[in-house]
Amino acid sequence: LSLTNDPEIYWFDTGLLAMASFDGLQVSPNGGCSWDFANETLSSLIMYDLAGDPTNPARALAMSSSGNLPNRLYETTDNGVTWTATPAPIAEPGFITESMAIAPSQTNRIFVSGSHLASAEAPRRPTVYRTDDGGSTWTEFPVTLPEGNRTLFALAVSPTDPDIVFLRTNAETATDNPE
């Protein structure tokens, strides 16, 4: 079984491309003609999102997502040459990250959205996590939505107010099909 996804791609000013995919974090120095893993650690992780710093084009963040491991952000400040894990995991195992957004007016404020895994007793629990220090600490913000398994996606942060984040959700519902 091979996992597939629509990868996130960031193009650094140097011409280096970075790609976050289910196969890990990869980089291409030649416009996508060939790809290599950014480093050995990032070749074994599911990387779910990638975002560039709107005020510093040499800085980007990649986000891992796994139900079995603590998820982290990985940061580059040198145009994708080196990537370092942020100090603290986003959440404990059991949280699936979906997307992240960097606040343009306060770039150490990063929002990560996703869901705590469902159990037999409860559906998925959509949650937003926020860091104000670039990933050293995280604050959880549970989001109340109507019943059903739902996923939450952080789409954008207001360019002038870092307290306003725009989210999107989907719903999984069962329908009766008499056929």
pLDDT digits (tens, 9 = 90+) for 79-118: 999 999 998 888 877 888 888 999 999 999 999 998 887 7
Chain centroid, CA 35 distance in Å: 21
Query: What global pTM score does this model have?
Result: 0.85
pLDDT tens digits, residue range 40-81? 888 888 888 999 999 999 999 999 887 677 788 999 999 999
Instruction: Give every CB contact of residue 29 below 8 A, 6+ residues apart in sequence.
Output: 15, 16
CA–CA distance, 119 with 124 (Å, rounded to integer):
8
